[in-house]
Structure 1
């Protein structure tokens, strides 16, 4: 080990506190890079493998009822590689102890031979036998949530008739990665199930003998998806086809894709911010060391060390700190990624999911950390190369402070000597003070921005379930019924208010942008479920035209006054040109509202409703839900309290849990910045502070001079950081928002106050550590140094 290497380790030991703080900041940035990139790679690769192994269809084509002979015509469509017709139907599962009927989907399996497309993945048990029409597979997540096992029997209502079926196997499917009940946007395996039975058994239950109501298609490599979809729609049009759609519009795949895309965006945007902050801190520290060691640099050069050797010595210091931080980030990034896997297997039903770090992420994280740290060091090394031995061994030319702030007259008499020293120190090094203040303001912005997002999630919940949707439950019918059905609901004892609605499946188009969703028909003056504006006031629905949710307006890139093409996928399936009149504030989903009479008019089905929002007497709620369970026209009931609990669970443990990680990271960064600011100020003023002690200043007065400067720097940084944090909260909220939920950003005084308090606590802790070192300072040794 050379003499310079020994000096290197002594320097590291001397600045160990700052080195550790900077390394942790770098480690945090690399940790996020490794974790997020690894999750993106793992989810993407697992989804691809799962889809391929289980032959997930490329195109789904639902219809009302088509004879099996139509399959031959679709098989002849250019670009179709394989296809399979099946029977699917809504079902209700009667779970003992649950007053609300659990919605589910019954899916047909081929009577003989393997599944051609959308193969199930058996987790336990076996496939149903054709001769036993009461045998079925049950979705494993639903079975686990309710404690069902092999051999258990469940009561299921299919097509209005109740029957008992026996569970012979538990399964998962690539089309059920995201499991949510119809009409809801929140995944909850306990509140939505899937049942697989043999084709003949389901065909008999849903009056589909010799027919099917959904086609699955796999496309050849060079096929045009749009051309195949158009051809399939043409073939199925006489049989009530409701519009074929690609895999990208499958609800399950769409939400998984949004999660992957969100992680990918964060992995590209967030880690560089932390690495840049660490590089800034490292530059300040190394610059301080070089300034303090001018004489040593001169001696090294005088003894024959070249510029390259001396520069490499200080460059090694940077590399060691940056490299140590990067290596810690790699290790903890893998551990954090593995810790996140159970969350994704809970909310996205992958049969297997192993965290596999992206090798490129390691290289990018390590190289980016070292490159960012080295970039700032280049400017420091230029100063080393410029120093000649003669110049370096001389003390630096004293700065001219004659034109800085002076305190005379009344102000001078009111301020004591330590206070005047504090203000003069700030005035004599304005750029250093501004740089430290900017760093602390950046930490304040990160902390306040992330803390605001915590409150924004809660605000989103309150607005969604107390302002926008004020119902206790939503009742869905199997098919649109007459308005008399709403009066029947109102006659149930304990039902206080009934608000009917109509939900019509449609594809909305604006230019080249499309969205497969639905149009919600609402009564003229809804009270339970409303469209609201930015001021939380109800938006009156126009006689004609659409009111779009904010998320949907952004998806379609449409503004009020523009016209949408609405392709209805029910009944006569008309194509409408409807103007957009308003954009509503939507926080869950991407709704499109229209007046109920106007929607029924364009459908040529006056007086029809597909469900109702209801308010009930809490004391009679269970009895009401049991009554609804026994009504054959009811396809399902969604209880608002259950939906709220599921959404809260998703935000706390699912995709929204990333905000906790980001918040912890923000506070780590903030503490690192404040601690380094205190240490840098101590190192730069050590000789001055020792001189003050020799001149008779007490330890308390000396500490006041140092910590007084830090206090002013922090107080200046707090309002600036708060303003930047307010702007940053909008960007963070936009990054967390998706089609599933939108996070509202706003100014939260508590969040900014809490972040400011945290910075003050961090400053107090840093000040205590610095004061302890000041009290231990060897005055003779410090004064001997020629700083």
Structure 2
């Protein structure tokens, strides 16, 4: 082994604790990068393979009732690779022990074999027999939520008729990775299911003999989806077409896409923070080593070693630490990704999910971490090239502290240890500033993540307690007369009723479009209340729309601009309406219009499709029974259940990464503070030993060392709080999507917790370093020439 390599091994052993801490910070950054990019690649590839294997349609076209003879015409359209007409209809499932009927969708399976599009995957039992019209397949997530299985019987209401059906199998489908009831935003297996029946039996139930109510289309690779959608809409318009849409607008795929995008945003934004901090720490460590080994560098040059060879030696030290950390992080990232893949397999309801390593992410993670560490070291190694052998072997010129003399006058009232701390801080401001920035970085990440966690809670609290003050929402099979409101008010236990009319619509502003809905509300809603940025109720106008802030951003539109509203229900009018206001809605992307104005535009006076209810909890059972007996009710959404489902969704998937980020933030904060304390001790070990020899007590010497660390922590807390404030907005934007928006919430408790974490990390690091000081060999420390 070459002499410089032997020195390298000794140096690594001497700074092993600092090297381990820096390597851990690098490992965390690479771990997150490899794990998150691997999960994104896995989910993307699994979704593609699942869709392809089970032939998920590219275009969906719901229609009231269209004849089967249109299918060849659609199949002949340019770019169409496959066509399937099926029967679909709303159903209500009566479950033992469940007070309200549960919504479900009934879908037909061809009598002559497997469907050409949207095939199902059998997970238990067998397929239905064409000769048994009462046999069904049930969505396995719904079955698991209610403890159902093959052989069980279900009471189902279809098209107003009650049927007793037998479950013969459980199935999965790529169109139900997330299952959401019509009109709701939050997926919940317990509150919405899917039923598959033979085509003849389901057609008879919904009066669809020789007809279909949904058209599925598969497209070729070079097909123009907008052109096919436009042609299909023209063909289905006479039969009550409700507007064809692509896979990207399908509710289940939209949820999956948003979850994957959330992971992708996190994988791009967080790891660079760790790598930058690690590079900064390496810079400090290498700078200290080069400064302390100035005489050794001079001796090496005197013996014939070139500046390039000596710089290479120190660069090896950096590369060993960085590479070891990066390789460890890559291995842990792979292991963590494999462990999390099992969780995502359950959450996304994929039938298979094999964690895929992203070679590019692994390579980039190692390359970037090594490059970042090397970049920090290069600034220090320039000193090696500038040192001649003679100059390096002489003690360095004393530093000029004349500029700090005026500050030093403030120390007259301080005792000796305090003056030592003060002088070091004022005489080496740049080094202290660097330590403050490092600790502030950890504080900022902790503060930002606690703010985001509060933002998730605020989204739920505002949405379900402040904006929505109802107890339940009742949806109807078709828009009913507003006299229905009076019928609901007469139910014993119903305290108040608020009507609404919700219609599907395509909202357009130039080239920006969004497939959503327009909600018709009363002029001054009391239960489902749009609020402005100051949390004040917004008056709903009849001559203009109120858009949610998320929808306004998606459409790039502001109050006063005009919006095109292509209604996809009834007469399907196309409206040009001004934007009258912006609401701070945190769930979904709704657009509001006064209910009477919406009904006039549709040419239907006094119609309601939804009603919000406030009820007496003591009479809840009676209210549920009355609603269950009403023939026009399509479903009932209980707010408490919706809130629980929303909480579960935010605690799973991409939302769960906030807990990982918070844990990592705590680890990196401790790592930075510990490195700062270790470097301070290494730089001053000889001075501290001298103080002990001339009579200072162990407590006084410890104060000299740890007092500086305490000042650094106290300076870093406000700076970290300010940086965390700015960082919160970027992280909140990464977690938000058009399904829910996460605000950055700033509370004293959040910043107090982050600041307390820094102070606790400082205390723990100080105790560890103080133990090293107490156990130090004073004679050996005094012999050190630094």
Q: Which runs of 5+ in 2 are unaligned?
A: none
Match in the other structure for 2:291:
291
Match in the other structure for 1:681:
680
Match in the other structure for 1:770:
769
Match in the other structure for 1:91:
91
Mapped to 2, the partners of 1:654 and 1:494 lie a distance apart of: 39
Q: Indicate if the aligned counterparts of 2:524 and 2:538 stay in contact, CA closer than 8 A.
A: no
Match in the other structure for 1:481:
480
Q: Indicate if the aligned counterparts of 1:510 and 1:558 stay in contact, CA closer than 8 A.
A: yes
Alignment of 1:512-661 (within 5 A): 512-661=511-660
Mapped to 2, the partners of 1:362 and 1:729 lie a distance apart of: 27
Q: Shift of residue 407 of structure 1? A: 6.7
Q: Indicate if the aligned counterparts of 1:86 and 1:107 stay in contact, CA closer than 8 A.
A: yes
Match in the other structure for 2:742:
743
Match in the other structure for 1:706:
705
Deviations 1:402-424 (A, max 9, x none): 33135787x54421122122111
Match in the other structure for 1:783:
782
Q: Indicate if the aligned counterparts of 2:58 and 2:218 stay in contact, CA closer than 8 A.
A: yes
Q: Indicate if the aligned counterparts of 2:452 and 2:731 stay in contact, CA closer than 8 A.
A: yes
Whether 2:102 is the aligned partner of 1:102: answer: yes
Q: Indicate if the aligned counterparts of 1:448 and 1:755 stay in contact, CA closer than 8 A.
A: yes
Whether 2:314 is the aligned partner of 1:314: answer: yes
Match in the other structure for 1:47:
47
Q: Shift of residue 723 of structure 1? A: 1.2
Match in the other structure for 1:113:
113
Q: Indicate if the aligned counterparts of 2:551 and 2:590 stay in contact, CA closer than 8 A.
A: yes
Alignment of 1:165-176 (within 5 A): 165-176=165-176
Mapped to 1, the partners of 2:17 and 2:274 lie a distance apart of: 19
Q: Indicate if the aligned counterparts of 1:295 and 1:786 stay in contact, CA closer than 8 A.
A: no
Alignment CA distance shift 1:274-1:412 (3 Å): closer
Give the SS at the match of 1:106: strand
Mapped to 2, the partners of 1:412 and 1:198 lie a distance apart of: 90
Deviations 1:82-122 (A, max 9, x none): 10111100111111111121111100111113211111111
Deviations 1:430-449 (A, max 9, x none): 10011111111111111111
Give the SS at the match of 1:638: strand
Alignment CA distance shift 1:622-1:9 (3 Å): farther
Alignment CA distance shift 1:650-1:13 (3 Å): same
- Larger CA deviation: 658-667 vs 620-629: 620-629
Mapped to 1, the partners of 2:527 and 2:740 lie a distance apart of: 20
Mapped to 2, the partners of 1:492 and 1:345 lie a distance apart of: 44
The alignment's TM-score, normalised by the length of structure 2, stands at 0.98
Alignment of 1:261-276 (within 5 A): 261-276=261-276
Q: Shift of residue 396 of structure 1? A: 1.0
Mapped to 1, the partners of 2:347 and 2:696 lie a distance apart of: 63
Deviations 1:149-179 (A, max 9, x none): 1111111110111101111111111111111
Mapped to 2, the partners of 1:245 and 1:42 lie a distance apart of: 27
Give the SS at the match of 1:533: coil
- Larger CA deviation: 616-625 vs 277-286: 616-625
Mapped to 1, the partners of 2:148 and 2:517 lie a distance apart of: 34
Q: Indicate if the aligned counterparts of 2:129 and 2:135 stay in contact, CA closer than 8 A.
A: yes
Q: Indicate if the aligned counterparts of 1:407 and 1:420 stay in contact, CA closer than 8 A.
A: no
- Larger CA deviation: 675-684 vs 335-344: 335-344
Q: Shift of residue 655 of structure 1? A: 2.6
Give the SS at the match of 1:498: strand
Match in the other structure for 1:205:
205
Match in the other structure for 2:64:
64
Mapped to 1, the partners of 2:662 and 2:574 lie a distance apart of: 47
Mapped to 2, the partners of 1:172 and 1:623 lie a distance apart of: 36
Match in the other structure for 1:755:
754
Q: Shift of residue 339 of structure 1? A: 2.7
The alignment's TM-score, normalised by the length of structure 1, stands at 0.98
Mapped to 2, the partners of 1:219 and 1:690 lie a distance apart of: 79
Q: How many residues align?
A: 786
Mapped to 1, the partners of 2:400 and 2:407 lie a distance apart of: 17
CA RMSD of aligned residues (A): 1.4
Q: Shift of residue 694 of structure 1? A: 3.1
Mapped to 2, the partners of 1:196 and 1:412 lie a distance apart of: 83
Match in the other structure for 1:153:
153
Match in the other structure for 2:462:
463
Alignment CA distance shift 1:203-1:407 (3 Å): closer
Mapped to 1, the partners of 2:539 and 2:70 lie a distance apart of: 46
Q: Indicate if the aligned counterparts of 1:179 and 1:187 stay in contact, CA closer than 8 A.
A: yes
Whether 2:462 is the aligned partner of 1:434: answer: no
Match in the other structure for 2:303:
303
Q: Indicate if the aligned counterparts of 1:395 and 1:786 stay in contact, CA closer than 8 A.
A: no
Deviations 1:458-494 (A, max 9, x none): 1111111110001111101000000111111111111
Mapped to 1, the partners of 2:334 and 2:561 lie a distance apart of: 49
Give the SS at the match of 2:323: helix
Q: Indicate if the aligned counterparts of 1:125 and 1:170 stay in contact, CA closer than 8 A.
A: yes
Deviations 1:559-588 (A, max 9, x none): 111111000001110000011110100111
Deviations 1:616-673 (A, max 9, x none): 1112213322322232211111110001111111122333111001111111111111
Give the SS at the match of 1:207: coil
Mapped to 2, the partners of 1:356 and 1:49 lie a distance apart of: 13
